[in-house]
Chains A and B, each alone.
Chain A
Amino acid sequence: MAREDDFSEVYRKYSDKIFRYLYWQSKNFHLAEDLTSEVFTRAWESWDSLRKEFLQAWLFRVAHNLLVDWYRKKKEVQINERHEGFYDENLLEKLGNDEQVDGLWKALNSLPENLKRVAILRFVEELSAKEAAVILNVSEVNVRVLQHRALVKLKEVMNDAK
């Protein structure tokens, strides 16, 4: 059971990160859960060949590609068919009623896509610039430039909303 145990540990450690990354980009709770399931299903299918030292980056990249693909082709039906859909309805309700969550979404949504992704990885998930650079396939310097821009803009929008 070592494989299953290792995978379960990885899922428990990273699935919230992947879910939030997808949620804050789409603000579609059910889509985020479906795509999270798809990311980890693919991870399990490729488990033996996955390089564990780049696991986090791999998971975020697959999540990102799936989201882009979904927006491009609207693959919702196929994804829902593959996953039965276990959703944390209490969390969904909580997020729906939280003004701060709504404010953050509006602020993130005001950013261009590349800044939004950097902001989520750096400020929400608190990944290092190096980790974010690997995930986004850009240089660390580039991440630092983008995060600064993102932060200035976010602060501006969040202050306006107060």
Chain B
Amino acid sequence: MPNDDLVKELKIRGLSQTEAEELGEAAKSIGQIGRFTRSNEVKEQFLIKLLGTKEKQSFVWPRLFAPAIAFVLILAVLGTGSVVFAQKSLPGDVLYPVKRLSENVAVSLNPELEQEIVVRRSQEVKDLVEKKEDSELVKNTLDDFSEDSKEAKSKGHANGNLEEGVRNLEDARERSSEDERRQIDETLKKLEEQKDEDEGSVQGTKSEEKEKDNEGSNRGSNGNNDHGED
């Protein structure tokens, strides 16, 4: 409501110009204080809950099922035998993309298979080295191994099978060229550092807890406690 209109209305009710303007100003300040707005986020959350979203209806479903749909299409084109056969393929083979796709589908259905995939990557490195394949392929597969192990670890799946992966890489190292050996060493080093970091953080937490527990009893001792070394 424009302020001028209110002033006019008040004057019609018998108020003087000054009185009407004063009240008009009061009304204006009430509006300024009172007209706050809620965040767009809150509004959108409500709309999503009540209506669902276009994204949900049009895009999320296909995105969720894209690997499965692609897998079915590939099955239709190549036949199930090709997919089974693809499991033995190595990086650089024609059927290798089919193998990776089938892995993605399997992991999307059962995330715990992620650790199995990590071992597969290490086995591929080993096989590639044994077959004396291109070093670039070995390097790419090592990168995939690092990526997959990181991914599996972030989801808490890597603990059991990582040792097997490391053993495969160590076997590969024995037979590898100098260049490949350097790459494998780098990958193993990264893994080792990651492991140390994890253990460090666990130990750190434990020692902090212990420090708190023993705070009272340690007071007055020689003050040379190294809580990290139990």
A-side residues, CB < 8 A to B, are 1, 4, 7-8, 11-12, 15-16, 19-20, 24, 33, 37, 40-41, 44, 84, 86-88, 90-91, 94-95, 98, 100-101, 103-104, 107, 119-120, 122-129, 144-145, 147-148, 151-152, 154-155, 158
Contacts and interface: CB of A to CB of B under 8 A. Distances in A.
A155 B31 contact: no
A147 B38 CA distance: 27
Interface residues of B, number: 29
Contacts of B85: none
Contact of A12 (B23, B30, B41, B43): B43
Nearest to A125: B35
Q: Majority SS of interface residues in chain B?
A: helix
A86 B50 contact: no
B26 A154 contact: yes
Contacts of A122: 1, 6, 27
The residue among A90, A101, A151 with the most chain B CB atoms within 10 A of its own CB is A151
Which 9 A/B pairs are nearest by Cβ-Cβ distance? A124-B34, A126-B1, A86-B45, A155-B26, A123-B30, A123-B27, A88-B38, A88-B39, A88-B42
B9 A129 contact: yes
Contacts of B29: 158
Interface string B33-57: 1111111011101110111001000
B26 A20 contact: no
B34 A24 contact: yes
B54 A1 contact: yes
B47 A8 contact: yes
A125 B50 CA distance: 26
Q: Majority SS of interface residues in chain A?
A: helix
Contacts of A145: 13
Given A1-B54, A40-B50, A155-B26, A123 B34 contact: yes
B9 A144 contact: yes
B30 A41 contact: no
A119 B47 CA distance: 30
Given A11-B46, A86-B45, A152 B23 contact: yes
A125 B33 CA distance: 11
A87 B54 CA distance: 23
16 contacts: A15-B46, A16-B38, A41-B50, A44-B51, A87-B42, A95-B36, A122-B27, A124-B34, A125-B35, A126-B31, A128-B1, A144-B13, A147-B6, A148-B13, A152-B23, A158-B26
Contact of B34 (A20, A33, A87): A20
B31 A124 contact: yes
Contacts of A129: 9
B23 A100 contact: no
Nearest to B57: A1
B33 A127 contact: no
Contacts of B33: 98, 100-101, 103-104
Nearest to B13: A148
Interface string B6-32: 100110010000000011001101110
Contacts of B43: 11-12, 15
B22 to A, nearest CB: 7
